[in-house]
């Protein structure tokens, strides 16, 4: 009986651990649409680009810029069209994720 109870506690602990691990893994996954930004906004600090860098930027800054593109308050070549493909909630999630990202020296090295 005692062994059974121990087993149950161990199972609970294990599943608790599994749940929190998957929650962490999920928060590191890019939210829907976020990967599409990287096609133009490079993650690699080795790449020379005129497209402004957005990885690692403050989330509020990104959200504000996207809102300005949406209304047309800020002139743009492509972002006014891109932002219309996303809901405001999606933009918030993408901005929060981008803010956690770091530009890297080794990212995209293979494409050179
Ligand atoms: C087709 C290429 C392209 C894609 C895809 C793209 N962007 Fe952009 N982005 C640009 C360009 C070019 C600019 C400069 C403004 C303009 O001309 O539209 C810009 C500007 C921005 C800015 C303003 C940055 C600053 O420093 O002022 C933000 C924020 C931004 N993009 C976020 C995003 C997000 C978030 C996504 C993905 C949902 C995304 N962009 C997808 C090309 C792109």
Helices (H), the chain: 2-28, 34-37, 59-71, 79-83, 88-100
Q: What is the pLDDT of residue 27?
A: 54
Q: Is 82 in the pocket of ligand 1 (CB under 6 A)?
A: yes
**CA–CA gap between residue 52 and residue 50 (Å, rounded):** 6
**Contact call for residues 94 and 86 (beta carbons, < 8 A):** yes
| Residue to substitute in 32, 63, 82, 96 for testing ligand 1 pocket (most ligand atoms within 8 angstroms of CB) | 82
The alpha carbon of 40 is separated from its chain's Cα centroid by a whole number of angstroms, namely 15
For the domain spanning 31-111, the CATH number is 1.10.760.10
Question: What's the CA-to-centroid distance between 6 and ligand 1, angstroms?
Answer: 55
Residue % of the chain over a pLDDT of 90: 57
DSSP 8-state assignment for residue 96: H
Given a cut of 70, the residues of the chain with pLDDT beneath it are 1-28, 105-112
* Domain boundary assignment for the chain: 1-30, 31-111
Q: Is 63 in the pocket of ligand 1 (CB under 6 A)?
A: no
The per-residue pLDDT of the chain, averaged, comes to 80
Q: What are 37-63's pLDDT values in tens digits?
A: 999 999 888 889 999 999 999 999 999
């Amino acid at each position: 009986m005692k062994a059974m109870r121990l087993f149950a506690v161990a199972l609970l602990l294990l599943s608790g651990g599994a749940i929190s691990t998957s929650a962490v893994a999920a928060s590191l996954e890019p939210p829907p649409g976020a990967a599409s930004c990287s096609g133009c906004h490079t993650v690699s600090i080795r790449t020379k680009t005129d497209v402004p860098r957005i990885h690692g930027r403050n989330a509020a800054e990104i959200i504000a810029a996207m809102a300005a593109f949406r209304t047309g308050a800020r002139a743009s070549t492509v972002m006014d069209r891109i932002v219309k493909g996303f809901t405001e909630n999606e933009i918030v999630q993408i901005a929060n994720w981008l803010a956690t990202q770091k530009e890297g020296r080794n990212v995209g090295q293979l494409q050179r």
